[in-house]
A and B are shown apart, each in its own frame.
Chain A
Amino acid sequence: MPSITYVHTDGSREVLDVPVGTSVMRGAVLNSVDGIVAECGGEMMCATCHVDVDEAYVDRMPAQSDDEKAMLEFTASERKPNSRLSCQLVVTPEMDGLVVYLPESQV
């Protein structure tokens, strides 16, 4: 199972095994990771599952849809070039080792 590391703003890390086909958001929710709110449940309505993808993994992420691009304008914390909605990052074997940074705030 691919290993995903969620880095909190205080630098602490949670390393989780997330099944292929599950989103990075759902992986966090199922393990009660603080800092991912996901209030709409992955419908791209809320932008509360914002993460910043570690530069080393940006190229391995799926392309952004127009919905995701629009929603990223609504993040509570600063949007960066590597910002993504984690509900749209469906885990693949190539993502093993992925590191994502949680933002200051999701709401």
Chain B
Amino acid sequence: MAEPVVAVIGAGQAGFQAASSLRQEGFGGRVVLIGDEPVLPYQRPPLSKSYLAGQCGLDEVWLRPENFYEKQNIELLTGETVTAIDRRGRAVRLASGTAIECDHIVLATGARCRALPVAGAELDGVLPLRTLADADLLRERLAAAREVVVVGAGFIGLEFASVAIAAGCAVRIVEVTHQPMGRVVSAEISRYFTERHRAWGAEILLGTGVVRVRGDGNRATAVETSDGRIFPADLVLVCIGVIPNVELARDAGLAADNGIVVDETLHTAAPEITAIGDCANFPTRFAAGRVRLESVQNGVDQAREVAAHIAGKRVGVYDKVPWFWSDQRDLKLQIAGITTGHDRAVLRGDSDSGSFSVFCFKGERLLGVESVNRPADHILARRLLALADPGLSPAQAADASYDLRAHLTPRR
């Protein structure tokens, strides 16, 4: 029998992890890792943080050096686009004209930046931030920029804003909702970060949209907002969310609805095709329904799960506690669990001290914990949330003298 072949489509953090975990799990067949960017697989988190700020170089961005792939016998195809999945022929077709016959396909196709749907969005100086190439261009433009407008106050926008302020730029953040990072954090954390960014010198316009980017020739010069104001800008960062890359799956007849639809084992309706990371829409006990998560943890843990499955080591339900982080100036925000839908937010610690956590409950049940410069709470929350029932009450969470460890069973 011919050796089995796994094609991993997408060479971001999830795809990279799937390929390397296949080897760690002892998979002996062919592993082909296909990425459309012309560079080695790299980490995205530093692109809006230390790499953007010039505090680290490329060596610290690559996930592994080039020789790793040879050493692990992973066939890495960079700058290569998959044009179609041929389910009948069990193959993936490449833009370069060849096809790779395979027994398993791991879809780690990621997501792409949502474009700003207004006139002038195509002007020079209006930039996205997702890829290494985006970050390189942004870093170059930031060095010369004086007035920056950030469209969208999510993690990326706020991380970028804190770097731009530190670089000496005047920064305005335009957010269409009334709650920065509102899709992922409680009102309390949102308010705290909004205040901090204002104290650092950013102007934040909430409940405000962008209606046009104005330019001189092909160069952006100003942003016009929904309340009729005009803000000069020589650099506009657009970070208004992403669109999952579902086209390959959909064209192959697989379901897509805010991501590629998979079951609790991360399989699509086709038993030989899994989807992981930013592109995957999966059911989880950590949320009310299905979710699609954009995080290192989610990509890496899901990659390990499918690799173990393909290698025949484990067949189970994907059940890892989601966690996220963001670095903004001297604030480290760490989130354990998914706090969306909470109806009670309990403060632990003192927000004036700059070190506190918000424990989010739905009724009596702990959904998640958002910590600012309070890593011990975060770690404990990850362990609590892994339990079938954390058993922590809102009153206990609010009582700073109450030892949260009482809820943990001995680890081993």
Contact = CB atoms under 8 A, between A and B. Distances in A.
Interface in B57-102: 59-60, 63-65, 67-68, 71-72
Contacts of A29: 63-65
A49 to B, nearest CB: 13
A51 interface: no
B65 A74 contact: no
A45 B65 contact: no
Given A26-B59, A67-B332, A70-B379, 12 more contacts: A26-B60, A29-B63, A30-B65, A32-B64, A32-B67, A39-B17, A39-B296, A45-B334, A70-B378, A71-B375, A73-B379, A74-B383
A29 B67 CA distance: 11
10 contacts: A31-B65, A32-B64, A39-B296, A40-B45, A43-B327, A46-B297, A69-B376, A70-B376, A74-B382, A78-B412
A31 B304 CA distance: 22
Which of under 10, 10 to 19, 20 to 34, or 35 or more describes the interface residues of A? 20 to 34
Given A26-B60, A30-B65, A32-B71, A41 B378 contact: no
A78 B80 CA distance: 42
Given A41-B46, A41-B60, A45-B334, A71 B379 contact: yes
Contacts of B71: 32
Interface residues of B, number: 29
A79 to B, nearest CB: 10
Contacts of B412: 78
B184 to A, nearest CB: 16
B221 to A, nearest CB: 37
A99 interface: no
A74 B376 CA distance: 10
Contacts, number: 55
Interface in B329-388: 332, 334, 375-376, 378-379, 382-383
A67 B332 CA distance: 10
Interface string A71-85: 101100010000000
Nearest to A39: B300
A32 B17 CA distance: 14
A44 interface: yes
Contact of B379 (A32, A42, A74): A74
A26 B325 CA distance: 20
A67 B325 contact: no
B64 A45 contact: no
B131 interface: no
Nearest to A38: B63
The 10 tightest CB contacts between A and B, nearest first, are: A70-B375, A32-B68, A70-B376, A67-B375, A41-B43, A70-B379, A39-B300, A74-B379, A45-B325, A30-B65
A43 B325 contact: yes
Contacts of B378: 70
Contacts of A39: 17, 296-297, 300
A66 interface: yes
Contacts of A73: 376, 379
B252 to A, nearest CB: 30
